[in-house]
Structure 1
Amino acid sequence: MSFVLPVYHAPQFDQARFQNAPDAVFAPAPRDGVAPEQYHATSIFPEYFKVDGRWLLVEDSRMDCVAVLRDGKMEAVEFRNLKEGEPVVVGRTEDGSQGIYVHADGFEDEDKGEQETFSFRQGRSRETAYSMDYDSIYELLRHEKEHGRILWVMGPACAFDHDARDAFAALVRAGYVHGLLAGNALATHDLEAGYLRTALGQDIYTQRSMPNGHYNHIDTINAVRLAGSTAAFIQSGQVKDGIIYECVKHDVPYVLVGSVRDDGPLPEVYGNVYAGQDAMRALVRQATTVICMASTLHTVATGNMTPSYRVVDGVVRPVYFYSVDISEFAVNKLRDRGSLSVRTIVTNVQDFVVNVRKGVV
């Protein structure tokens, strides 16, 4: 069965309540980086604003921004990027009564039928059956390989295991990776595995600790810094496989954003958190499917900048967002932070990657 994108059902703006609704109210930003009082904060859902009698969709949205009219288009703008005097939407209703409408159910299945009032296991936990999720992911990835952009968010656990590392490298080679977001640790331990066959000093297959293995990851960082860049280190032949190796060889963009815990770090790691956020946002803007694995902070950060929809060639389509972690707390934390469209899978990420590779490659 081939994958088919769900149809977006736009609001019926010919209805009287939309026709009779007033235009949205704008107020100027009082200074750079400051929104006017009663500003409207954007969400993950499609939002429309009535301007000169027309309902305009914010085509490139994200959570917790302000809605600004720029060059005749509505845009979601981070507070720090707001310029003094820019027209910002004010009003905190979402039902159209103030010229602001949040359309949360545009992809709802009209034939899904009524849900029972009482039923078991409606949450997503370690007891959930995920067989259908895997099959859906395989179909989705095959579709997105040709028609979308697949962005992966990865924690270092994805590089600690021999089979998982090989599986993800195979996904890159097969065209199922269009971008990668991570921290210093994922790239460092993946390169350590390619350079010294260890991750945090342990053999990536046997998990046996090597003598003086605690030096291995910082020796790897030091060697990369001596080469001048990760790409130069790989081109030197000192690394011949792995996740970052395949990204470099196949021109897959990756963004590494640092933290106060970082060793080194690698030369490409963003030390300025807002520069890193902008770089992450550039890849998120292109993504139609996002899969986050075993990195709570990066997952929440990515979720906060990912809307539930994307406008592609004038058509509104869903953005698919998965969070995979062995911890129920980790996957639930993202939903608690407002990413209500996330699909969660509670499992070992190494097993997840290996299963996905088997399902699509």
Structure 2
Amino acid sequence: MTVSREVELEGHIIDSGMMQTSFGIIMDMGGAFEVEEFQIGRHKDAESYAKLLVTADDQETLQSIVHELHQNGANPADPKDATLEPAPEDQVVPKGFYSTTNHPTQIRYEGQWLSVEDVEMDCAVVVEPEGGPDGEPRAYTKVLNAIDADDLVVTGEAGIRVKPPERPRDQEGAFGFMQGGVSSERPSETTIGNIAEAIEETKAEDGTVLAVCGPALIHSGAREDLARLVREGFVDMISAGNGFAVHDIERDLYGTSLGMDTESLDHPRKGHKHHIYTISEVIRAGGIEEAVETGVIESGVMYECVENDRPFVLAGSIRDDGPLPDTITDSVEAQNAIREQAHEADLVLMLSTLLHSVAVGNCLPSTTRTVCVDINPATVTQLLDRGSAQAVGMVTDIGTFVPMLAEKILDEE
């Protein structure tokens, strides 16, 4: 005896590949389907609609198929209210809680659909019946360590709608090129030009640009160009680790990055000690801001952040030297600071840093435009595989990318 469930797909389900992906999920997981209704959009801006009857040999298989379809944007045709269960204690979610994707999500509560606030992957959804400013219900994500006892947590799959980003044909505007994927063969200058236009468009719409930076950016000689972008307001926030800030400041104090002169490529005598001397000087000053204010630091990315009031988050790791006083060494506190930046960003540049790119990517909704640049294609691929499918990957030297980007934004105006 078979069991069945109707699901619906709507939007640009053909161009985005949602429809064929759903067919593949059903067949690969041992189910079958019938297309009960199919309405095709007749022009490039029109949306399509399909209703599928999904069948399986048992309820467990059907539930697994429906779960995977749900992650792909297919939703039950007969929505019910979401199931809410109170958290039994702090940092403990009910069994079977709904774990979020990074796609826009809605929760059905008392017959109405609530948009989930601050969407990101791998979170729980909490509903407050009177949590809105006028006493209306609201739904929002919480990481597991932020769950409070008695929070009403969404469990199961009922009453949940997920809408992955769509890719209609002939998408216009500077972001039209951002269709995902990784390639080292795309014309670099054209792609960088498109990214420059995307940044300019974001700023023209009063959007916020976040740069996620690795130390290789300093080593490769791109420091001054990134500093220009910060100074001129095309980069609004910096997310990095202790190493990035140390080598940026080392370049100002000693003309080196990790002991190497980034212009002559020479290794000055005692250059290997410059990074630890740098940390010592900043600690002596009381922090990066104090070091800028007292004239210890006179140039660079961190200097421009302080001088132009651009917020930065330095998240520490177990391997950090020092670290700098501004580095957040508590991992949960650092994660929360990164999350706050990620939720504010409208466009994110991930510049040659695998660990920080994945960390920030995990906090981003799939609607945030993201560019990941690294000389190693595995870095870009891993980011996409971790769920940041909206990211555009560019495999190139960061020391080439940032100067060209700055030139197109600042020198061609």
TM-score (norm 1): 0.86
Question: Residue in 1 aligned with 2:280?
Answer: 222
Paired with 1:170 and 1:263, the residues of 2 have a C-alpha distance of: 27
Q: Deviations over 1:13-70 (max 9, x none)?
A: xxxx878421111111121111111111111111111111111111311110011102
CA positional deviation for 1:108: 2.8
Shift of 1:130: 3.7
Decide whether aligned partners of structure 1 residues 35 and 160 sit closer, same or farther in structure 2, where only a CA change above 3 A counts.
same
Who is 2:196 aligned against?
Answer: 138
1:84-128 deviations in Å (ceiling 9; x for gaps): 111111113xxxxx21111114x431557xxxxxxxxx9523233
Residue 322 of structure 1 aligns to a residue in which SS?
Answer: strand
The match for 2:105 is: 47
The aligned counterpart of 1:172 is 230
Give the aligned partner of residue 3 of structure 1.
none
Whether 1:239 aligns to 2:297 is yes
> Residue by residue, what CA displacement relative to the aligned partner does 1:168-220 show, whole Å, maximum 9, x if unpaired?
11101111111100000000000000011111111121110000111101001
Which of the residues 359, 368, 373 maps onto 1:324? Answer: 373
Structure 2 CA distance for partners of 1:141 and 1:123, relative to 1, 3 Å: closer
Q: Secondary structure at the match of 1:284?
A: helix
Letter in 1 for 2:218: A
Q: CA deviation at 1:138?
A: 1.3
- 1:138-287 pair list within 5 angstroms: 138-146=196-204, 147-162=206-221, 164-287=222-345
SS at match of 2:344: coil
Which amino acid letter does the alignment assign opposite residue 169 of structure 1?
A
Matched, 1:336 2:381: no
CA distance in 2, matches of 1:111, 1:40: 35
Match of 1:100 in 2: 160
Picking from 134, 147, 154, the partner of 1:89 is 154
Query: 1:109 is aligned with what amino acid?
Result: P
Pair member with larger Rg? 2
Q: Which secondary structure does the structure 1 equivalent of 2:183 belong to?
A: coil
Q: How big is the shift at 1:236?
A: 2.0
* Equivalent position of 2:93 in the other structure: 35
| Cα distance in 2 between the residues matched to 1:111 and 1:200 | 46
Deviation, structure 1 residue 296 = 0.5
Structure 2 counterpart SS, 1:58: strand
- In the TM superposition, what are the counterparts of 1:115-134 in structure 2 within 5 Å? 124-134=182-192
Partners of 1:351 and 1:132 lie apart in 2 by: 14
Change (3 A) 1:305 1:273: same
Q: Secondary structure of 1:297's partner?
A: helix
Match of 2:404 in 1: 355
CA contact (8 A) 1:11 1:103 kept: no
Percent of aligned positions that are identical: 34
Q: For structure 2, which runs of at least 5 residues remain unmatched after alignment?
A: 1-44, 50-74, 132-136, 172-179
Q: How far apart are the structure 2 equivalents of 1:347 and 1:78?
A: 34
The letter for the 2-side match of 1:230 is: I
SS of the aligned residue for 2:182 comes to coil
- Aligned partners of 1:123 and 1:175: how far apart in 2? 28
Gaps of 5+ in 1: 1-7, 93-97, 113-121, 310-318
Q: CA deviation at 1:341?
A: 1.0
Aligned partner letter, 1:252: R
Given that residues 164 and 366 in structure 2 are in contact (C-alpha distance below 8 angstroms), is that contact kept between their aligned partners in structure 1?
no
Q: 1:276-304: per-residue Cα shift (whole Å, max 9, x none)? A: 11111111111000111111000000000
Tell me the secondary structure at the aligned position of residue 141 of structure 1: helix
Q: What one-letter code is carried by the residue in structure 1 that aligns with 2:145?
A: R
- The amino acid of 2:235's aligned partner reads V
- Distance, in Å, in 1 between the alignment partners of 2:245 and 2:47 is 42
Cα distance between partner residues in 1 of 2:181 and 2:359: 23
Report if aligned partners of 1:45, 1:308 keep a CA contact under 8 Å in 2: yes
- CA distance in structure 1 between the aligned counterparts of 2:104 and 2:384, rounded to whole angstroms: 18
Query: Matches of 1:123 and 1:87 in 2, distance apart?
Result: 38
Answer with 228-237 or 345-354: which moved more: 228-237
RMSD: 2.1
